[in-house]
Every structure is written in structure tokens, then in C-alpha cells.
Amino acid sequence: MYNYGIAIHGGAGTISKSLMSEEKEKTYVEALTKARDAGYAILRGGGSSIDAVVASVSSLEDCPLFNAGKGAVFNAEGSHELDASIMSGKALDAGAVAAVQGVKNPIQLAKLVMVHSDHILLMGEGALKFAKPYNVAMENAEYFHDDHRFNQWQRMKGSDDFQLDHSDKPKQYLGTVGAVALDSHGDLAAATSTGGMTNKKFGRIGDSPIIGAGTYANNNTCAISCTGSGEYLMKGVTAYDISCMMEYGGMSLYDASHQSINTHLLKLGGDGGVVGIDRKGNIVMPFNCEGMYRASKNRNASNVLIYKV
Amino acid sequence: MYNYGIAIHGGAGTISKSLMSEEKEKTYVEALTKARDAGYAILRGGGSSIDAVVASVSSLEDCPLFNAGKGAVFNAEGSHELDASIMSGKALDAGAVAAVQGVKNPIQLAKLVMVHSDHILLMGEGALKFAKPYNVAMENAEYFHDDHRFNQWQRMKGSDDFQLDHSDKPKQYLGTVGAVALDSHGDLAAATSTGGMTNKKFGRIGDSPIIGAGTYANNNTCAISCTGSGEYLMKGVTAYDISCMMEYGGMSLYDASHQSINTHLLKLGGDGGVVGIDRKGNIVMPFNCEGMYRASKNRNASNVLIYKV
């Protein structure tokens, strides 16, 4: 039996301990623990890595603390456009949605695209049309409303600024959630979901729904989910970059992920991090900024972390 | 001075010599020659590889023979959704648009996104809103109408089939145009543009606007533009796959591109091909299907080809 395990993230950025209250920290730790354990329970029961990452990411999407699903930030029009992608390392199947509105759990829709369509990436109204026969849970604007997000948007509305989530600096937009898992059958999977950037315009699509950039899984190498400055992760093709360093360069997951985040991404000028797992169950969670909401669990160890350790 | 050169493609697929008239072949050869020479003239004059690939791809977009710009196929709603992307190998800058309607030369809009926005990929109405201040040339439905494309669509309308262009088999959708170039300053660039698949639904986005999948350029390795079954090129992250085999595996452009197309893509079940150029000016144009419209030119040689040689 393979050494199954899971790692999740809830975004990275300028997460400063000095600005974090003890109570706020506790709510993050609880939410990350709950999301991680939702996926881990499936792995422990012999379930698939795909089901595990969908369960963990759905849990993060349902939590208003993270910029995905319910907690998605406001775009320039005051609405919420959601992106998500998923990939199976077994046959390299993948599915993704971009700029969908009103979908409670975009990661579940991405999985439907993977399983039931001939396509990988569906966007906007078209993706919702595809979703119709599958009774995907929809929510109204009230569900996605959050006072904190709304105020973030009000401060930038009408300007050319855009902002992430876990950052007080404009033009840093690092809010994303994701999960990677290895199941007991030896199959890897990765999933990523995001609400994009506060005040984003022009139908911008970031790295999260892009296979190779925000998400990648391959049983020969690893499963990766990224978070960070999306445009740099797209230029760096970061998720596949890590896989290629392993496949073509013979590197370990640890060395490849650290080189991609701390050398390649930094050189491009990008902030961010990844969670990754390989077929031996090795877990990595490197990032090149102040903090990354993250958690992992396998049969030997578990953790929930926010800052550098 | 670097050994500047250019390679272009006008799509790949089941292009059968037995179905091609002499006259039809001549029109393809003329169009490919014209597009190639438009880019080559810029390189010969000391211009940039970015300007060269934009000139060549614009020429292909203006020609009704190819599935991009004017020649774009009809989607399920009877309209035309255009995708394009461009990347500069110097600083890894990139720009792309997905599902834009009415834009005469989507590749020129992709370049504007690269140069003037903080983003890489803009879609649909949002991309058009971004385009407004730049006086991008727009065309009406009549410009994009073509009887041959219209009849292709009429045969499939209302069904679940979708089809490419250079193929009589449904579910093969290999129509794309693209160009790669090395300029005399040593900078690489790649560009790709497409009208997608006949009768495509659900806001499907293929590989053409995806950096790493359909397009990639990096002065350390190569410039690549793909054409073929988009979903497989996305799973294979084909353009970046070739670059990574060179960078991490120490392979030549020739070996890397042939392995990616004839081994990796075939193993996934995908049809297609690429044009590629490296910093020494080596040009490759491998494909794993019956034919690929293609042409190349440097100071030593030039060619225009359709079938296997």
C-alpha cells in the first residue's frame, strides 16, 4: 500500500504575525484542520486522491476566510468570478472552469468537466450551460457577500488597482486554495480554486484554472497546487516546471519545488508558494513570501502552519 | 549577429494529397509563402522577433484558408470566438486573449495585453473593454462569414459533434496558425492564433491562448507554437515540455520536439505538431498526423510544405 497523504493551502502573501490576533489565528487553524481532515478521511478509507482533493478544496471553498467559493473577493463589477482546476496523475485527465458565477463549489464543476466533457477548460456562461444537467449547487449574491471583502473592494472600486486577499499591498493577489494527495492505490491528484483578485477587470484569467501553471499531477512525478502572483506562475508554468525538473532533471520533489519557487519564480519577480506530494508520499510546502496558510497529514505526521518555520 | 529565421504553421490534421487539387494546393503555398515572408522581411531588416511573428500570424489571420481571424470556424451559436497568445523569450513576457469576438487580428490584441496590461490572459467582453483605447481593428459578422466554414457548421449544428478544420473526421480539431522566430539580436518569440473548433460549445478554451500549452518562448531554450488536438496539448503542456527537455534534460531542439510530439503527445492520444526555433537558428517542424501546413526561412534555406517529406 502506498504511503497516502494530503497537503493543502489557503493562499500565500504578506501574512504578518504582528497583524494577526490570537482569535483570528485560531479560526484559520481550525478551518485548515477541518479541510485537511476532510480529504485525509477519504484517503484513510481507501478512497481516491481525486475525491480527497475535491473534499478538501470544497471545505476551503465553503469557508469565508479564504479567497475561493464563498470567500471569493469582489471583481471590478462588484460580482464574483470563480476559477478552478483539477488533474489526475493516473491518466493525466484534467478539468477546469474560468470566470464562473454563482457556483457554490467550482472545484466540483471542474471535476465534472474532467469526467463528463471532451474538453479541459470551460469558461463563463458556457461552463454554466454545461453544468445544467448535473444539478451543480448554485448560490446567489448574498451567499458570496462578505463585509470584509466588500470593504476591500470599496477601497479600490473605480481605480486601476487590484489586490489580493492576504496582502495589504495593492498589486499582490495571492489568494487561492488548493490540495494535493497521494492515495493508497498510488494515484496522485491536484486541485486549485480561487476568486481571483479584488477589483479585477477585463475578464482576467490567472494561473488557477490553467493546467501546468496553477495545477499539475502526474503519477511519474508529483502533484502540485500553486498560490501566488498568478501572472508569474503562468510565465513560469510553475506546476509543470516542478514536474519537469523531476522527470528530465532527475531531481527530488524537495529540490525541484524549492528551486522553482525560490529561484525561478523569484527571478521572474513573482511571490507565491506550492503544496506538492510525490508517489512516495513525500510532502513539500515551500513559499517565497511572508506566510502561507497550509496543512498536511499522512500516517506519520500532521501539521497546520501559517508563518515561516 | 544571430542566425535569424522564422517558421510558421497553418494547422495540422488529416490533410490528404488525394483530396487536394493542384489549384487548391497552389493557393495554400502562396498564402504560406506570403505570411512567412512578411515576418522574414522584418527579421532581415533588423526588426524584432515579436514584430516578425505578429506580422506572419496577422497575414495568416487575414487569409480565409486558415482557421484563425477571417477564416475562423463557426461555434455552436453560429458566431466566431477567437483565441491567441504571444510570448517573448527575452524577459518571458506574455499576452493572450480567449473567446474574443469581432477582432480582426487577435494576435495583435494579445500583443497589446503583453505590452500594456499587468495581466497575461484576458477573455471575452473584458478583453474587448481592455482593447478600446488602442483602436484595435474590428470587423462585423460578414467579414468572418465563409461559405465553406458555414457549411461545415450546418452539418453539425444542433448535434454534440465538433470538428476541426483540416479534417473530415469529427472530433479532430487541429486548425490553428502560428509562428516562431529568432531575430538578429538573439531574441526568440512565439505566437499562436485560432478560431477553435466548428460547433464548439460551453465556452471551451483550447491550448492556443495558454502559455506553456500552445505557445512558449525562452531565450535559454526555444520558441514553440503548437497546433493539434488542443485538449491533449494542454494535458501535455507541450510547448513548455519541449523547453524543459532542453533545459533540464540537455536535449537538442530536434530531439526534444520530436520526443514531445511523437512520443508524449501520441501516448496521450493526441494529434498535432509544432514549429520551433532555438537560439542558434535551428528550425524544427515535427507533426504526428498526415500533414501540416508549414513554411520556414533563414539566410541559408527556405521551404513551404504540406505533407510528410
The confidence band for A167, taking pLDDT boundaries of 50, 70 and 90, is low
Q: Which residue, B51, B52, B50, B69, is CA-closest to B10? A: B69
The confidence band for A164, taking pLDDT boundaries of 50, 70 and 90, is low
pLDDT score at B289: 93
Helix (H, G, I), strand (E, B) or coil at A288: coil
Q: Which domains does chain B have, with CATH numbers?
A: 5-307 (3.60.20.30)
pLDDT score at A235: 97
pLDDT score at A166: 60
Determine whether the interchain pair A119/B248 forms a contact, defined as Cβ–Cβ distance below 8 Å.
no
Of A121, A123, A235, the CB nearest to B120: A235
pLDDT tens digits for B222-275? Answer: 999 999 999 999 999 999 999 999 999 999 999 999 999 999 999 999 999 999
Q: Which residues, 6 or more positions from A53, have their beta carbon under 8 angstroms from its beta carbon? A: A6, A39, A86, A107, A179, A180, A181, A189, A190, A191
The residue among A164, A248, A267 with the most chain B CBs within 10 A of its CB, best to mutate, is A248
E strands, chain A, are: 5-13, 82-88, 94-100, 121-123, 177-182, 188-194, 204-205, 215-217, 222-228, 272-278, 283-284, 291-298, 302-307
Q: What is the mean pLDDT of residues A82-103?
A: 97
The confidence band for B14, taking pLDDT boundaries of 50, 70 and 90, is confident
pLDDT score at B171: 40
Q: What is the mean pLDDT of residues A218-237?
A: 97
Beta partners for residue B272, in sequence order: B228
pLDDT score at A88: 98
Query: What's the distance, Cα to Cα, between the start and end of chain A in Å?
Result: 31
Catalytic residue list of B: 176
Q: What is the mean pLDDT of residues B52-72?
A: 96
Nearest CA in chain A to B122: A204
Determine whether the interchain pair A93/B235 forms a contact, defined as Cβ–Cβ distance below 8 Å.
yes
| Residue of A27, A33, A176, A192 marked catalytic | A176
Q: Which residue, A207, A248, A262, A276, is CA-closest to B211? A: A207
Its ipTM equals: 0.94
pLDDT tens digits for A171-200? Answer: 444 689 999 999 999 999 999 999 988 878
Determine whether the interchain pair A216/B237 forms a contact, defined as Cβ–Cβ distance below 8 Å.
yes
pLDDT score at B159: 75
pLDDT tens digits for B135-170? Answer: 999 999 899 988 888 888 888 887 776 655 555 444
Least confident of A197-201, B106-110, B265-269, B293-297: A197-201
The alpha helices in A62-119, defined as continuous H runs, are 106-116
Cα B281 from chain centroid (whole Å): 19
Q: What is the mean pLDDT of residues B105-119?
A: 97
pLDDT score at A173: 43
Q: Does any CB of chain A come closer than 8 Å to the CB of residue B231?
A: yes
**pLDDT-above-70 percentage for chain A:** 95
Q: What is the mean pLDDT of residues B82-100?
A: 97
Q: What is the mean pLDDT of residues B26-40?
A: 98
Q: How close does chain B come to A269, measured CA to CA in Å?
A: 11
pLDDT tens digits for A133-162? Answer: 999 999 998 999 888 888 888 888 877 766
Tell me whether residue A33 is one of the annotated catalytic residues: no
pLDDT score at B170: 45
Nearest CA in chain B to A242: B244
pLDDT above 60 (res A86): yes
**pLDDT-above-90 percentage for chain B:** 81
Q: Which residue, B68, B95, B69, is CA-closest to B293? A: B68
pLDDT score at A170: 45
